[in-house]
Amino acid sequence: DAGITQSPRHKVTETGTPVTLRCHQTENHRYMYWYRQDPGHGLRLIHYSYGVKDTDKGEVSDGYSVSRSKTEDFLLTLESATSSQTSVYFCAISSGTGDNIQYFGAGTRLSVL
């Protein structure tokens, strides 16, 4: 988890409330990713960013938005949380060049009641 911090690590919220998860990196990597992980589904890509203000959708982007105003921060927002968004969320970073290996954060466990 070196160089990647996810906050908060745990959150419980109610249906219909907005939620923002933060991913912060100190590696100056170009690419940042948000995944969700649910039992039986493995890791699914929500959104990713290939630079400041440059983002693209992943496999399961409905209900999520992202923003990247600085190289080091990638925010994931649930505008109106639903119970189906209860999950573990992982942030990852990669350099985008050469081997492009991804490094993952410790995860955020989100419960929407």
Partner 1 sequence: LAKTTQPISMDSYEGQEVNITCSHNNIATNDYITWYQQFPSQGPRFIIQGYKTKVTNEVASLFIPADRKSSTLSLPRVSLSDTAVYYCLVGGGNQGGKLIFGQGTELSVKP
Residue ranges in contact with partner 1 by CB under 8 A: 1, 30-31, 33, 35, 41-45, 48, 50, 56, 58-59, 90, 92, 94, 96-107
Q: Which two tokens stand for residue 58?
A: 């992943």
Q: Residues near 66 by Cβ (< 8 Å), separated by ≥ 6?
A: 34, 46, 47, 49, 55, 74, 75, 76, 77
The CB-of-17 to partner 1 minimum distance in angstroms stands at: 25
64 contacts 91 by C-beta, under 8 angstroms: no
The CB-of-16 to partner 1 minimum distance in angstroms stands at: 28
The CB-of-103 to partner 1 minimum distance in angstroms stands at: 7
